[in-house]
Amino acid sequence: MSDLADMTATQMAAAVRARKVSPVELTEAVLKRMDERKDLNAFITVTGEAALAEARAAEDRMMKGSELPPLHGVPYSAKDLLNTAGVRTTMGSRLLETNVPATDAVSVSRAKAAGAILVGKTTTPEFGHLQAATSPLFGRTLNPIDAKVTPGASSSGSAVAVATGMGPISLGTDGGGSSRIPAACCGVVGFKPSLGTIPHLQLPDLFGANSYVGPMARTVSDVALVFDAINGPDFHDTYGQAARLLHEGGASLRGLRVGFIAEGGARVERETAAITAAAVKKMEDAGALVEEAFIDFKSYEAVFLTILRVGLAARTGPLLKGHENLAGQTLIDTIALGHGYSAVDLSNAISERTRLFREFQALFERFDILVSPTLTAPPLPIDVDPTGDIEIDGVNCGTVRGAWYPFTFPHNLSGHPAITIPCGNTKAGLPLGLHLCAPWYRDLDLLRVAAEAESLLT
């Protein structure tokens, strides 16, 4: 039974289609694994009974020989920032501890239509506001590779779940690297698609969106399988109205123009830099045309913080008022900071977002793909202060956001698709990620390149 939980989503879907395994067996195996790994604290809510009921219905359909959707019988989880009809959705906060939405998020609805079976809602810091896998509601989520280091955030539970076979796929959200950071910390794949390709209608501002829904899994092929099932335009989405995936066909690295952003304005830890460079060299040896490229990503930290803090203050501030005792201090402080910005500050930040987009586009006139480290250093200690400074190679490099993940949050501002894949481990056994980015709506090309790079690096 435990072996079934270790199957990929692609393997599970094929086995169900061939009637080699039933959705009930798969669901039971995943629920058993979830029970065995309670110590990791990856789930806020487990939907065991409902999942088994869905699995039995899926088994009946399978046995009748009905046409099966692409994810039929495959168990999955969803980050607890995504609405799930009839299933508690807390946003990782005691402020919404008993909240039960009436409708599904678009991504959840599409996963359900594709035949996937929801087994639970995964952990996230309150409203995804913090780079720490902890919340007053659920406590701390642990990294399955090394409990002394962070599993990353804010899609913490999703990364831990897929890394340990608690479902082969999970729907995460990414507001500044929130899927890609924990994926890199846990040795799995995290994907942030182009703005508009997967509708995220829960956002109050669809025109200025910087949070994205994306699949997380152990392999690029699983991410691509889920992406194929849940992407597409939606009448109620602004950018999604015109979102059209583009591709030129072929996945070969040979002749691919790759821009390697080795630093991005930040200090990269020596071992991380060496392992990343070795991964890029393997791409070059496979025929990619690699040249150095540069954007000062770290300099956009203030822009990102302005938009993040103002958004939290506007969206979450009213919920917090009068209930401060239910929230963590960092959320309270972040909302207070958000109230301190002026309308001019926000307008200037939006203008800087446009400038960053133009910097990306200038590089994409020369390159097909941009690659970099996902993080500047291996997973940080579990008890690091997420609002404080960090040291890299003995040097104080500033805040966690600007110093540790300057390669991820700029893509949330610019809208470009980005993915992290495992690219090696440190001498201490900690995983590192390689970050790849493509032009808008070249998501399919990006996934193909990532799959080929994955085959070179694993």
- Return the active site residues: 79, 154, 178
Q: Determine the residue type at 246.
A: L
The CA distance from 420 to 455, in Å, is 14
Tell me which residue of 52, 44, 102, 101 sits closest to 78, measured CA to CA: 44
- CB-based burial label for 251 (10 Å; 0-12, 13-18, 19+): middle
The CA distance from 269 to 441, in Å, is 32
What tokens were used for 445? Answer: 């090309």
Angstrom CA distances, 273 to 96, 172, 377, 380, 392, stand at 41, 27, 8, 16, 12
CB-based contact 186:421 (threshold 8 Å): no
Tell me which residue of 186, 213, 222 sits closest to 106, measured CA to CA: 213
Helix (H, G, I), strand (E, B) or coil at 43: strand
> What is the arrangement of strands in the sheet containing 189-192, beginning at the earlier edge strand?
43-46, 117-122, 75-79, 169-174, 212-217, 189-192, 418-425, 431-437, 369-373, 257-260, 289-292
What counts of helices (H) and strands (E) characterise the chain? Answer: 15, 15
- CB-based burial label for 321 (10 Å; 0-12, 13-18, 19+): exposed
